[in-house]
């Protein structure tokens, strides 16, 4: 007479369920613990020196302006009497920063100056 072993179902132990419990808990917390990809700073346009911008006055010639500020980023084909100096900086995780200086010319001389937030000034 041979006795065959009988298998009784075992109750899962708490130790066996611990990895599953831990994985579910971490997944529910989001991905704050995962490394994030590096994002580079993106600079575009003309970085304007505040002291040079403040030297620009109405009545200056195009050559004088170009000597102080350099070449404009935008020279419109159909409006050669308008020069735009534009700068933007986009840093990872921060609001983009933008500066703009627009100069209007009449007969080669500055007639109007529009500026927006150059060097943190308005």
> Rounded to two decimals, what is the model's pTM?
0.62
Q: Which of 111, 99, 20, 108 shows the shortest CA–CA distance to 62?
A: 108
Q: Quote the strand ranges of 8-108, DSSP E.
A: 42-45, 74-75, 82-90, 97-106
Q: Which domains, and CATH codes, for the chain? A: 42-116 (3.30.1450.10)
pLDDT in tens, 42-74: 888 888 888 999 999 999 999 999 999 998 887
What lies within 8 Å, CB to CB, of 117 at 6+ separation is: 97, 98, 99, 100
Question: Would you say 48 and 85 are in contact if contact means Cβ atoms under 8 Å apart?
Answer: yes
Share of the chain above pLDDT 90, in %: 30
Each residue's pLDDT tens digit, 15-35? 777 888 777 776 666 666 667
Report d(CA 110, CA 113) in Å as an integer: 8
Distance CA 86, CA 94 (A): 19
Q: Reply yes or no on whether the pLDDT at 122 is more than 50.
A: no
Question: 113 to each of 52, 58, 83, 101, how far by Cα in Å?
Answer: 14, 7, 10, 7
């Amino acid at each position: 007479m041979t006795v065959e072993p009988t298998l009784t179902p075992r109750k899962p132990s708490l130790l066996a369920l611990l990895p599953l419990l831990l994985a579910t808990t971490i997944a529910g917390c989001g991905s704050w613990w995962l490394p994030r990809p590096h994002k580079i700073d993106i600079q575009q346009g003309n970085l304007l020196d505040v002291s040079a911008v403040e030297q620009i006055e109405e009545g200056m010639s195009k050559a004088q302006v170009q000597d102080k500020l350099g070449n404009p980023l935008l020279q419109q084909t159909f409006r050669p009497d308008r020069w735009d100096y534009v700068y933007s900086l986009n840093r990872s995780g921060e609001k983009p920063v933008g500066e703009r200086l627009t100069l209007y010319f009449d007969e080669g001389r500055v007639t109007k100056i529009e500026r927006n937030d150059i060097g943190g000034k308005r």
